[in-house]
Structure 1
Amino acid sequence: MPELRSSTRQARLRFRKLDDQQAEPAVKPVPPAPQRAGKCDHIPAARGRKGAPWRRVVPAPRRARKGAEVVDLDANLGSEHLPKAVAIHAVVCESKDPALNKVAQGVGNKGMRMDGESAEKLVGAEDDSTIAPIPERVHVGNSPVYITDRKLGKGGFGQVYVGRRVSGGTARTGPHAYEVALKFEHRSSKGCNFVPPYEWQVYQTLNGCYGVPAVHYKGRQGDYYILVMDILGPSLWDVWNSLGQAMSPHMAACIAVEAISILEKFHSKGFVHGDVKPENFLLGLPGSPEEKKLFLIDLGLASKWRDSSGQHVDYDQRPDIFRGTIRYASAHAHLGRTGSRRDDLESLAYTLIFLIKGRLPWQGYQGDTKSFLVCKKKMATSPDMLCSFCPPPFKQFLESVTNMKFDEEPNYAKLISLFESLIESPASRPIRIDGALKVGQKRGRLPVNHEEDDQPKKKVRLGSPASQWISVYNARRPMKQRYHYNVADNRLQQHIEKGNEDGLYISCVASSANLWALIMDAGTDFGSQVYELSPVFLHKDWIMDQWEKSFYITAIAGALNGSSLVLMSKGTPYTQQSYKLEIAGE
C-alpha cells in the first residue's frame, strides 16, 4: 500500500491497541465459515435520540513508517473476514434516569475507543466513491417513508443511519416510531454477495425473541439491502467506560442474570450467537420505558446448534477457521471447533469478568500468532487467578461453563441462581432482570417487579432455600491434577515434595533434551511414593531394594545423557513386577 499523504486522512485512521484485534493481519484474512459467505459488519442496532448532539474525538495522527501499510484494526469486531473497522459515534441522550444520563454524557464526552473511523484502505471495507450513494429516502415493503438522517456507524460493508418518518409516527419505539435505525448493506458487499444478508435469515427466525431488537421492515431499494429497526441506547462498553472502566459486582450480577436469560431464549430457537461481548449488549433508548432493558445485537456470526430434525449438530474441528472476538471467544472457538451453547456462556463469563476488573490476562498480545497465544493463555489461566477480586459467583459460573461438553444442555436456572446473593432490590437494580422471572421457569428466589413487564410472572422471593428442592451429588471423588515441564535435575525434589504435601503423586514422567516433565494426580490411590534420578539407566540394586519394601515401578523415563528417572509407588493394584533391559546391538 502506498504511503498515506493526507494528514487529515491519516488522522482519521486511528491507531489502537492491537491487543483487541480479532484475526490475522490484512495480508492473511481468515477464510469464511461454511454457513455463510461473509459476516455483516459489526454495527449496533442504533443509538440516539431525536435532536441529540454528537461529539467526535479524533486523535492526532501518528507518523507512518516509510513504505508501511497504515490500517485501522478495530479491536473487538467479531468477524469471519478480518480485519475490518466500524465507525460508531457516541450519541448524548437526555434521560430521566440520572445514572443512564451520566452514561450517555460520558459516552459523548469520551468517545468510544472501540468505534473509530473506518479506513478506506482496510481489507473488506468499501470505498464510498465506488458504490452508489445512500438513498435520501427509504421505503421498503409496507414501511412508511423515512428520510435518511445522521449517520450512526459504518463498518466493512454496512452502515447505520437514523431514519425519520416523513409523516406520522408518535411512538419512541416500534413500527410507528418517528425515529428508527436504518441499516444499509450494499448488495456487492461480502456480507451480501448479491443476495440478502445472512443476518436477515437469523432475524427472521428470532424476530420477537426476548432480548433481540425488533426488525419492523426489510427489503431492497436500489443497490442496498435495508433493515428498519428500533433505535437503542448505550452498550455495556459505553456504560463501563462512563463508570471509570470498572463496574460494580452488583451491576455485573444483574447483567449476568439477564444475559443468561436472553441467551436461553436465543438458544431455544436453535441458534448460538457466536460473538458475545460488551459491545453487543445494548440498553434501551434513554428516557423510554425500556432504558434499563438489555438487548443482544449483531447476529451476523450466529449459527445453528441443532439441525432441522431437532438433533444437535455434529462435532467438527477446523483449526483454520475462527469465528468471534479474540478477547472474549471461548477456547473451543480458538481451536476451530463447531460452535455450541457452551461457547456463548464462556464468552459471557469473560465479558462479566472484564466489566468488573477492566482487563483480562490475555490482553496485549500482537502479531501473526496472537490468536494462538491468547488461546494458550486462556487455557493456562486458572479460574482462581482469572476471578481474583471477583465475588465467588463469578468463579463458580466460569467453572461451570468451561467444563461443559459440546452437546450438553446448559442448566440456565442453576447458572442464574449463582448470582442471586448479589441481586439488589428492584428499585436499586441498574438493569432489569425480566427474563429471569418468566412464568414456568424456576429462577432461584429472585424478586419480581410486576410493573416492569406486561408478561405474567411467577412470584418468588429472596429467603431460605425452598424445602422441596433436592440436590443430587455423584459419589465420584473430585479429580485434581498438576503438571510441570522443562524441569532441571536440581528442581525435581522441590516439585515432587510440594505435590506430595498437597496429596498428589506422580502418575507419568517424560524427558526431552535432558529436561523432565511430570504429571501429578490426586486420584492415583498410591499410599506413598519414592523416586531415584540415576546417572545410569535403571539402577537395578535400588529397584530391587524398593521391591522388598512393596514399592513397584509406576513411571519411568530416560534422558539423552543416559540418566533415568524411576518412580516407584506403594498401593498399586499389582504385587509382582519384572522388567527387561535390552542393550542396542545385542
Structure 2
Amino acid sequence: MSAPKKRGLPKPLPDGFILTDNVKKKWRLGKVVGQGGFGLIYYASQDIGSAVSADTDFVVKVEYHENGPLFCELSFYKRAGRPEMMQKWMQSKRLDHLGIPKYWASGQAEYNGIKYRFMVMERLGTDLQKISERNGGRFKKATVLRVGQVLVDILEYIHENEFVHADIKASNLMLGHRNPQELYLADYGLANRYCNDGVQKQYHENHRKGHDGTIEYTSLDAHRGVTGSRRGDIQILGFCLLHWLCGSLPWDGDLKNAVKVMEAKDRLMDSLPESVQQLSVNGASTAEVASLLLYVKSLNFHDKPDYQRLRQILSTGTKEKLDFSVPRGVGEKKSASKALEPPNRGKARCSSTKHQPAMSSIEVQNGQRKAKGQGVSKAKPVAIGEEDDDEEDDDEEDEGGREKKLKQASCNRRRQNVPQKSDRVTRSLRSRAGTLKSYKEDDSTNDDDDEEEEEKEEDVRSNPIDPRYIRGPPKGKRGRPKMV
C-alpha cells in the first residue's frame, strides 16, 4: 500500500482500537470528537475492557507517521511540557494554574498496513472560536484583558524553556473540561525553538518560508520568513486581543493575499497608538492593546519581553472571572446595519424601471417577468401571483427619454397589432385570481380614480390622450382591446 499524503487527515481508526504507548501502557480509543492540524482527536480510556465513556478525562491525537506537526508537538512536550517541570514553575511564580494541557503518553501504531503516530493528552472543553462565533467575533473587554494575562503567563513559561508557540488564536484556546474558568493554550504543532542551549537564532529573512502561521494573526517576522521569536508571540497576542475587542481586523478583507495583509499590519504598527485606538467599538477602548503593540514595536529581535510590564498593561485592577456572555452592543450593531440596508428587492425593482427602455412585450409566468423585443434588458423576478400568458405590461418611463422611447414602442406595437398610446398610459397586471399589484410611478399628476377602482383596465393620467387611441371596455375572454 502506498504511503498516504503527509499533509492529509488520517483515515479513522475503528472504535475500540487498542493503542500501546512507548512505556507499554494500553489505551482504548472511543469515537472521533474533533480534528486539529492534520490529526484526528478521539476519546480515550485506560480501561481497555470497557467502551470509552463520554465523560472520560483523556483524548488521543492521531496523525500519519509521516506528518510533521505532531512530531513537533511531541518535541515540545518532551522538552518543556513534563508535569513536574510545570509544577515547579507554578510554585516559583505562585500560580494556581498554568494553561498548558497535560501530556500523558505517546507512541506509534499500525493499522491496515499504515503507520500512525499518537499522543495521549488531558481532555479539554470547548474552544474560544465557537464562543467567538456566537458572540459576533467579540468578547467583553474585561474578559479579553483577563485572557491576555493568562496567555502572558503561558508564554513566559514557554519562552523560558526556549520555545515559541507561533500560532495563538481562538481555536487553539480551550476551557477546562472540569473547570470552565481555566484557560489552556493547545496545539503546539508550529512550536519551535528560538534558542538552542542559550544560543539564540539570528534574524534572517527567508521569503520562501514567508507568511507561516494563521494569516490573520501571524507576526510580521513570520510574514518575512524569519524564525519565530518572543516578540513575535507577543505581537500575535496583540492582534488576537484586538480582534476579540473589535470583532474584526483592518485586513480581514485581504486574507487571500498574504502580502496585502502584511502591508496592512505594517501600516497599523507604523501609526500606533492612533491606528488601534480609533478601532474602539461600543465604548470598549482599545488603549491597552495599543500600549501592548507599542511595547512590541520597541523590542528588538533578540530582546526578552518584560512579562510583568505586559501584565500591568492588561491589568484591570482585579482578577476578573472569564465571562463569555454576549458583549453589549453586538445585537445593536446588527440592528444598525440592518437599518442601513437598501429597501427590499421588490420595491427596488419597481423604482429602477423608470430608467429602463420601454419594453415591447412582457409575459408574466410563475412569478417572473420575461422581456422580449429589441434592446430590452433582462427583467427581474416580480413577486406576484400567476398571470395570464398573453397579458402585457409597460415599464414606467423617464421624462427625459420619453419621446424617443415612445417612437420605438410605437414600431413594436404596430408589429403586434396593438394600439398605441400617445403619452403616459400604464397597463396593469391582473392575476387569474383577480389579485392586483399596482406599481405607480412618482409624478406630480395623479389619477382621478379612487383606490376601489384599481382593477380597471387603464390607469389614465391627467394629460390629454389622442381620441383615436382611447380604448373602450375590454373585449373577449382575455380582455384584449380592439383596434379603433
- Alpha-carbon spacing, 1:145–1:190, altered in 2? closer, same or farther (3 Å): closer
Ranked by relative contact order (alpha carbons within 8 Å, sequence separation 6 or more), the top structure is 1
CA offset at residue 188 of structure 1?
Answer: 3.1
Q: Are the aligned partners of 2:127 and 2:172 in contact in 1 as well (CA < 8 Å)?
A: yes
In structure 1, C-alpha distance between the alignment counterparts of 2:147 and 2:255, rounded to whole Å: 30
Q: CA deviation at 1:242?
A: 3.1
Residue aligned with 2:254, SS: coil
- Preserved CA contact (<8 Å) 2:76 2:188: yes
**Contact 2:19–2:29 under 8 Å retained in 1:** yes
Q: 1:141 to 1:307 in 2, by over 3 A?
A: closer
* SS in structure 2 of the partner of residue 218 of structure 1: strand
Question: Take 2:28 and 2:10, find their aligned partners in 1: how far apart are those partners?
Answer: 23
Does residue 229 (structure 1) correspond to residue 126 (structure 2)? The answer is: no
Distance 2:38 2:290 in 1: 38
The alpha-carbon deviation at position 306 of structure 1 amounts to 1.4
Q: Contact conserved, 1:217 with 1:228, CA < 8 A, in 2?
A: yes
Cα distance between partner residues in 1 of 2:225 and 2:204? 8
- Given that residues 10 and 40 in structure 2 are in contact (C-alpha distance below 8 angstroms), is that contact kept between their aligned partners in structure 1? no
Q: Is the 1:165–1:178 contact (alpha carbons within 8 Å) kept by the matching residues of 2?
A: no
Matched, 1:124 2:7: yes
Identity of aligned residues (%): 25
Aligned-partner residue type, residue 408 of structure 1 = D
- Equivalent residues of 1:250, 1:423 under 8 A apart: no
CA positional deviation for 1:429: 4.7
Rounded Cα–Cα distance in structure 2 between residues aligned with 1:239 and 1:191: 26
- Map of 1:259 onto structure 2: 151
Q: Kindly state the Cα deviation for residue 372 of structure 1 after the two structures are TM-superposed.
A: 0.5
Matched, 1:413 2:308: yes
Contact 1:185 1:225 in 2 (8 A): yes
1:242 corresponds to which of 134, 138, 161: 134
Task: Tell whether 2:239 aligns with 1:350.
Answer: yes
Match of 2:32 in 1: 151
In the alignment, the residues of structure 1 paired with residue 216 and residue 9 of structure 2 have an alpha-carbon distance, to the nearest angstrom, of 26
Residues 134 and 224 (structure 1), Cα distance of their counterparts in 2 relative to 1, 3 Å cut: farther
**Aligned counterpart for 1:198 among listed residues 65, 68, 72:** 72
Q: Aligned partners of 2:204, 2:21: CA distance in 1, in Å?
A: 40
Greater radius of gyration (CA)? 2
What's the secondary structure of 2:125's corresponding residue?
A: coil
Return the match for 2:258 from 371, 374, 381: 371
In structure 1, the partner of 2:196 is 307
The count of residues paired between Structure 1 and Structure 2 equals 292
Matched, 1:268 2:169: no
Structure 1 position 215, deviation (Å): 0.9
Residue aligning to 1:187: 65
Please tell me the residue identity of whatever aligns with 1:243.
N
What root-mean-square deviation, in Å, do the aligned CA atoms of Structure 1 and Structure 2 show?
Answer: 2.9
Q: Deviation at 1:277?
A: 1.4
1:254: how far off? 0.4
- The CA deviation string for residues 432-453 of structure 1, in whole angstroms up to 9 with x for no partner, is xxxxxxxxxxxxxxxxxxxxxx
What is aligned with 1:214?
102
SS at 1:239 equivalent: helix
What is the rounded CA distance, in whole Å, between the counterparts of 1:396 and 1:247 in structure 2? 19
- Deviation of residue 139 (structure 1)? 2.8
Q: Which TM-score applies when normalising by structure 1? A: 0.46
* Rounded Cα–Cα distance in structure 1 between residues aligned with 2:204 and 2:275: 31
SS in 1 for 2:59: strand
Give 1:327's match in structure 2, choosing from 203, 211, 216: 216
Q: 1:409 is matched by which residue type in structure 2?
A: K
Quote how far apart the aligned CAs of 1:185 are: 1.4
Q: Tell me the SS of whatever aligns to 2:199.
A: coil
Residue 171 of structure 2 aligns to a residue whose secondary structure is: helix
Which deviations, in whole Å up to 9, do the C-alpha atoms of 1:400-441 show, x marking residues without a partner?
113311001100101111122x25455x4549xxxxxxxxxx
User: Does the aligned pair in 2 maintain the 1:272–1:340 contact within 8 Å?
Assistant: yes
| Equivalent residue in structure 2 for 1:298, among 187, 210, 228 | 187
Paired position in structure 2 for 1:114:
none
Alpha-carbon offset, residue 152 of structure 1:
1.8
Alpha-carbon separation, structure 1, partners of 2:6 and 2:309: 43
Q: Cα 1:185–1:123, aligned 2, differ >3 Å: closer, same or farther?
A: closer
Whole-Å separation in 2 of the counterparts to 1:339 and 1:360: 22
**Residue in structure 2 matched with residue 385 of structure 1 by the alignment:** 275
- CA distance in 1: counterparts of 2:242 and 2:170, whole angstroms: 11
Aligned residue for 2:228?
A: 339
Q: Which residue of 1 aligns with 2:44?
A: 163
Code of the aligned partner of 2:246: K
Contact 1:124 1:156 in 2 (8 A): no
Q: Which residue of 2 aligns with 1:103?
A: none
Q: Secondary structure at the match of 2:154?
A: helix
Amino acid at match of 2:264: K
Matched-pair contact (CA < 8 Å) for 2:45–2:56: yes
Q: Identify the residue that residue 445 of structure 2 maps to in structure 1.
A: none
Q: Output the CA distance in 1 between the equivalents of 2:16 and 2:157.
A: 35
Judged with a 3 Å threshold, the aligned counterparts in structure 2 of structure 1 residues 380 and 226 are, in CA distance, closer, same or farther, namely same
**Alpha-carbon distance, 1:149 to partner:** 1.4
In structure 2, the CA distance between the partners of 1:332 and 1:191, relative to structure 1 (3 Å rule), is closer
Q: CA deviation at 1:366?
A: 5.3
- Consecutive unaligned residues in structure 1, runs of 5 or more: 1-119, 432-586
Question: What is the DSSP-based 3-state SS (H/G/I as helix, E as strand, rest coil) of the residue aligned with 1:234?
Answer: strand
Counterpart CA distance in 2 for 1:127 and 1:280 is 20
Q: Is the 8 A contact 2:230 2:305 kept in 1?
A: yes
Q: Which runs of 5+ in 2 are unaligned?
A: 87-97, 325-484
* Aligned twin of 1:282: 174
Contact 1:125 1:156 in 2 (8 A): no
Amino acid of the residue matched to residue 307 of structure 2?
Y
Shift of 1:291: 2.2
**Residue 155 of structure 1: how far off its partner (Å):** 5.3
